[in-house]
Amino acid sequence: MTEDRDLEPAAVPDGPSEAEINELVLEACVLAAWSDDSLAVAERNQVTHLIRSLTDDPAERERLHRMVLRDLDRAAILARVSALPYEERLDVFERCARVLAADGRLTARERRFLSSMRRHTGVPRRLGFLLAWRHSRALRWRMVALVLLLPLVAVAITWWVRRPEIASESPPQTSIHPPIEVVVAPGAVQDLSPDALFERVRQSVVTVTVRHDFRPVSAGSGVSIGSAGGSLAFVVTNRHVVADPVPSGARFEVEVRTADEARWDAVLDFVSERHDLALLAVPSAAPRLPPLPLEPLARLRVGQTVFAVGSPIGLRLTFTSGIVSAFRGPWIQTDATVHSGSSGGPLLTAAGHLCGIITQAHEQKDFAFAQPADAVVEMLVERDEATTAR
């Protein structure tokens, strides 16, 4: 028989020494301080203070200072921290929070690092927050500001929900719609030089400003297309330039400004439901606003030169050129430069004929769209139909 022997208990490996724990604490704190790729002066001073608290030996302090400068393995350090007893893990976490908060703030990267360390050390979320709160002045001020702002936010939300609805209505239109005389461009004409073209059309282009109770609410461009009764001029612009709802009881005004600085009060004559077009009547302005002849869409060709005139971003009488880039359904696409404020301005052929009304610029600003002059004719037909229906 085999002789029984007393079984000796297996040796339990000793845990990390105090020196090893101190070094691990330092490594974790340095890793935390470098988590935002920078080491603030206050954080550096805190690390130096930590080294002094760990050892009185000058040689050991020098070794620890050198360790601060070397590359640290984040995963290995966090794994070693996770293996410590809970109380020591908690101490490591609080020391790291103290180092990070030494400069009075916690960056987004530092907060993310603390959150990662909290998970590795097993520190409860609420306790981790309290420890960070204790050492971070910026976090405390942020929470105080949040507490102070919450009532204001609640009041604002309550006001928004319960705010009184402000009644609004469509801009008022005149009830008198006299027949308009327009001119269709002849077939074969001589092209003009750009400077001669601009001089010919500049008096026909206006800047349009819309006001509610004397307050400007929108601005755009417009072009004269006809007259009535010898003195009443008619200007076409975009519907979206003039069609903002008017608060109930507010005064609605439209002003057109000509190339020679004349200002005229206009009346909204008609707003098209089929096209982004509106018609303005300008009393006594016909002699100063010569109408431009209309060029049918059928005569346009891709690649032909076209010109645009308008008031982009308020720069009145801006003259640009380009080509007809394409026909996109009911739109003319062009690379003539336009911007906000050009809406409603004319797109012109090289002969100075109105071939389109600028409607919108693409967000990339390298091409724009215009409604063909045919849409102006269709708007006038729509206007006649509405007048007859009354």
Q: What is the mean pLDDT of residues 125-142?
A: 55
What pLDDT is attached to residue 13? 47
* pLDDT tens string 259-283: 889 999 999 999 999 999 999 999 9
- Token pair recorded at residue 181: 């005389």
**Least confident among 26-30, 80-84, 332-336:** 26-30
Cα separation, 379 vs 390, in Å, equals 17
Q: What is the pTM of this model?
A: 0.59
Residue 188, helix vs strand vs coil: coil
pLDDT, greater one: 9 or 376: 376
What pLDDT is attached to residue 86? 76
What pLDDT is attached to residue 278? 97
Q: Is 70 exceeded by the pLDDT of residue 292?
A: yes
- Token pair recorded at residue 356: 């389109």
Q: What is the mean pLDDT of residues 230-250?
A: 92
Q: What is the mean pLDDT of residues 45-69?
A: 72
**Least confident among 5-14, 47-56, 61-70:** 5-14
Quick one: which H or E segment has residue 60?
helix 58-69
Strands 263-271 and 331-334, bridge-based pairing: unpaired
**Least confident among 85-99, 219-233, 344-358:** 85-99
Q: What is the DSSP letter of 35?
A: G
Cα separation, 110 vs 335, in Å, equals 49
The runs of H, that is alpha helices, within 101-136 are 108-121, 125-135
Residue 126, helix vs strand vs coil: helix
| Selection from 107, 268, 254 nearest residue 176 by Cα | 268
What pLDDT is attached to residue 43? 59
**Least confident among 17-26, 248-257, 292-301:** 17-26
Residue 362, helix vs strand vs coil: coil
Q: Write down all domains in the chain, each with its CATH number in brackets.
A: 18-142 (1.10.3680.10), 194-389 (2.40.10.120)
Q: Is 60 exceeded by the pLDDT of residue 8?
A: no
CB atoms within 10 A of CB 117: 25
Crossing angle for the helix pair 108-121 and 18-33, to the nearest 10 degrees: 150
Question: What are the residues whose beta carbons fall under 8 Å from the beta carbon of 253, sequence distance 6 or more?
Answer: 210, 211, 212, 214, 265
What pLDDT is attached to residue 298? 94
Q: Is 70 exceeded by the pLDDT of residue 339?
A: yes
Q: Is 60 exceeded by the pLDDT of residue 130?
A: no
Residue 311, helix vs strand vs coil: coil
Cα separation, 310 vs 326, in Å, equals 21
pLDDT, greater one: 106 or 352: 352
* pLDDT tens string 313-323: 889 999 999 99
CA quadruple 304, 307, 312, 315: dihedral sign: positive
Q: Is 90 exceeded by the pLDDT of residue 49?
A: no
Q: Which amino acid is at 126?
A: R
| Selection from 208, 239, 212, 210 nearest residue 224 by Cα | 208
- Token pair recorded at residue 202: 């500049």
Q: Is 50 exceeded by the pLDDT of residue 9?
A: no
**Least confident among 172-176, 201-205, 223-227, 332-336:** 172-176
Q: What share of the chain in percent tops pLDDT 70?
A: 73
CA quadruple 334, 364, 344, 199: dihedral sign: negative
Long-range CB contact pairs, 168-172, < 8 A, 24+: 168/245, 168/246, 168/247, 168/248, 169/245, 169/246, 169/248, 170/243, 170/245, 170/246, 170/271, 171/210, 171/242, 171/243, 171/244, 171/245, 171/246, 171/252, 171/268, 171/271, 172/246, 172/252, 172/268
Most confident of 60-69, 99-108, 361-370: 361-370
pLDDT band, residue 242 (cuts 50/70/90):
very high
Strands 278-282 and 232-237, bridge-based pairing: antiparallel
Residue 291, helix vs strand vs coil: coil
pLDDT, greater one: 171 or 134: 171
CB 16 within 8 A of CB 82: no
Q: Is 70 exceeded by the pLDDT of residue 144?
A: no
Most confident of 32-41, 59-68, 123-132, 241-250: 241-250
Angle (CA) 113-118-122 rounded to 5° is 155
What pLDDT is attached to residue 11? 45
CB atoms within 10 A of CB 223: 25
- Token pair recorded at residue 288: 């100063």
pLDDT band, residue 187 (cuts 50/70/90):
confident
Angle (CA) 183-379-278 rounded to 5° is 100
pLDDT band, residue 224 (cuts 50/70/90):
very high
Mean pLDDT, the chain, rounded, equals 81
